[in-house]
Amino acid sequence: RSLKTIYLGLVFTLIFSCNNSRPKNNETTDSKKGFPWDIPQEKPDRPLSSAMERLYDNYLTPRPEDNELFSSFKYTPLEGFDYNDGDGTISRRDPSKIIKENGKYYVWYTKRDTPVPPRGAQNSNDTIPSTDWDLSDIWYATSVDGLVWEEQGIAVPRPARPIVGWRSVTTTDILKWKGKYYLYYQGFLEASGTKGDHCPVTASFSDSPDGPWTPVNKIIIENGEPGTWDQYSIHDPYPLIYKDKIYIYYKAAFGDRPDYLLGNGLAIADHPLGPFTKHPLNPLFNSGHETTLFPFKEGIAALVTRNGNENNTVQYASDGINFNIASVTQMMPMAAGPYVPDAFDGNGNGRGITWGLSHFIGRGSGTSKYSILTRFDCDLSLDINDTEMKNTQV
Ligand code: AAL
């Protein structure tokens, strides 16, 4: 029944989002034809209310639909993943960004396959998970069309105790650098929820997207000093190449769960295995959970979802550091891993995104939670006629 609920949700979203897209290419809407009641594109030369001041001062365009970084989102169920009839014992979540290698799309993600669904930290043990992402490994799947996926197996298993990640390895993302591949991920040293969702980031590398992967077995991005915003957790590592350096954006909570005032910061390195230096202006975002980033024109754009005053926004920083709200939208993909063809080009000419995978959180038996991977489509690309992008659209 829970999967049916999710699918009904997907169908609803599909219908909803199709009616809600921004105009494409040369299409114009009626209001663009200059009806007298249209919002003026330029700031009017008269005293304005705070809301109208803000409309012109704080956003890229007065109407979100008119700028390139606005989109609605369409969701489609995937084929190829089994969930044990949604009994909560199998979960797949937090997909990486998608890359294309050997004519196929590759994605890595957190997979939990446990005898019972999560039961909270107090009831957890070596086989009973505390949370949906406890006792997990990193798996990968490939696809030719982005809709039908073949699960290939484990990429990175959790290592033996006490190596970083022994309890769970989760929430990974991929970097390709000088012909080698690097997976960054959360390495739990205790069951999530014991004190909070505390963990640092570790990594594995390989000569091929199919592995084998060599774990570095050490922390790659350290938690902050006591009293700093990222003292407890470094989550959702998200690597891009920008300005000839490795930029890893990441999430941390100012306090601790369940406070949920989340921020996102940046650590920069010359080599994928570090040392990483945290940006002095961190955090760079005041909101967001599982923030998704991609090169856009000369800068970096971000999907800021779920938490904080600025959730449900698409943001842009022409320098990759100072982000502003570009548009406000809704029903954004959760933990999105988009197909980013130029994630590692660092050529200052980012093309944007049109699709990817994200997750939905479902209810298994009782109160148990599990997650499923789904596909999202959007229009956050500079050129919708870009054939490499367009061919992948539903
Ligand atoms: C997700 C991510 C990280 C957290 C947990 C699993 O939403 O932010 O990966 O640790 O939840």
Residue-level pLDDT, tens digit, the chain, 394 residues: 444 444 444 444 443 343 344 444 444 444 445 566 778 889 999 999 999 999 999 888 888 878 889 999 999 999 999 999 889 999 999 999 999 999 999 999 999 999 999 999 999 999 999 999 999 999 999 999 999 999 999 999 999 999 999 999 999 999 999 999 999 999 999 999 998 899 999 999 999 999 999 999 999 999 999 888 899 889 999 999 999 999 999 998 776 554 556 779 999 999 999 999 999 999 999 998 888 999 999 999 999 998 888 999 999 999 999 999 998 999 999 999 999 999 999 989 999 999 999 999 987 666 568 999 999 999 998 865 555 554 444 3
Distances (CA, A) of 291 to 71, 85, 235, 236, 364: 16, 30, 10, 8, 26
CA nearest to 170, candidates 210, 206, 201: 201
Distance 72 CA to ligand 1 centre (A): 24
Residue 377 in contact with ligand 1 by CB distance below 6 A? no
Residue 133 and residue 148 in contact, taking contact as beta carbons nearer than 8 Å: no
Residue 329 and residue 64 in contact, taking contact as beta carbons nearer than 8 Å: yes
Residue 328 is which amino acid? V
Residue 235 in contact with ligand 1 by CB distance below 6 A? yes
Residue 289 in contact with ligand 1 by CB distance below 6 A? yes
Residue 173 in contact with ligand 1 by CB distance below 6 A? no
Atom of ligand 1 nearest to the CA of 290: 8
Distance 190 CA to ligand 1 centre (A): 15
Quick one: DSSP state of residue 51? H
Residue 317 is which amino acid? A
Distance 371 CA to ligand 1 centre (A): 12
Residue 205 and residue 272 in contact, taking contact as beta carbons nearer than 8 Å: yes
Cβ contacts of 84 within 8 Å, gap of 6 or more:
90
Atom of ligand 1 nearest to the CA of 289: 8
Residue 251 is which amino acid? K
Atom 7 in ligand 1: residue holding the nearest Cα: 290
Atom of ligand 1 nearest to the CA of 199: 10
Residue 10 is which amino acid? L
Using CA atoms, how far apart are residues 302 and 296, in angstroms rounded to an integer?
9
Among 170, 173, 311, say which to mutate for ligand 1: greatest number of ligand atoms within 8 Å of CB: 170
Residue 136 half-sphere exposure, CB side, CA atoms within 13 Å? Answer: 32
The pTM for the full model equals 0.89
Residue 168 and residue 134 in contact, taking contact as beta carbons nearer than 8 Å: yes
CA nearest to 291, candidates 275, 272, 311, 274: 311
CA nearest to 77, candidates 128, 139, 3, 24: 3
Distance 197 CA to ligand 1 centre (A): 8
Write down the residue that tokens 């700031």 correspond to: 43
Tell me, what's the pLDDT at 364? Answer: 66
Among 92, 172, 236, 332, say which to mutate for ligand 1: greatest number of ligand atoms within 8 Å of CB: 236
Query: What burial letters (b/e) apply to 254-282, b meaning 16+ CB within 10 Å?
Result: bebbeeeebbbbbbbbeebebebebeeeb
Write down the residue that tokens 């669904």 correspond to: 117
Residue 251 and residue 290 in contact, taking contact as beta carbons nearer than 8 Å: yes
Atom 9 in ligand 1: residue holding the nearest Cα: 171
Distance 94 CA to ligand 1 centre (A): 7
Using CA atoms, how far apart are residues 253 and 283, in angstroms rounded to an integer?
10
Atom of ligand 1 nearest to the CA of 233: 10
Residue 137 in contact with ligand 1 by CB distance below 6 A? no
- The C-alpha angle with vertex 374 and arms to 301 and 11, in degrees rounded to 5, equals 105
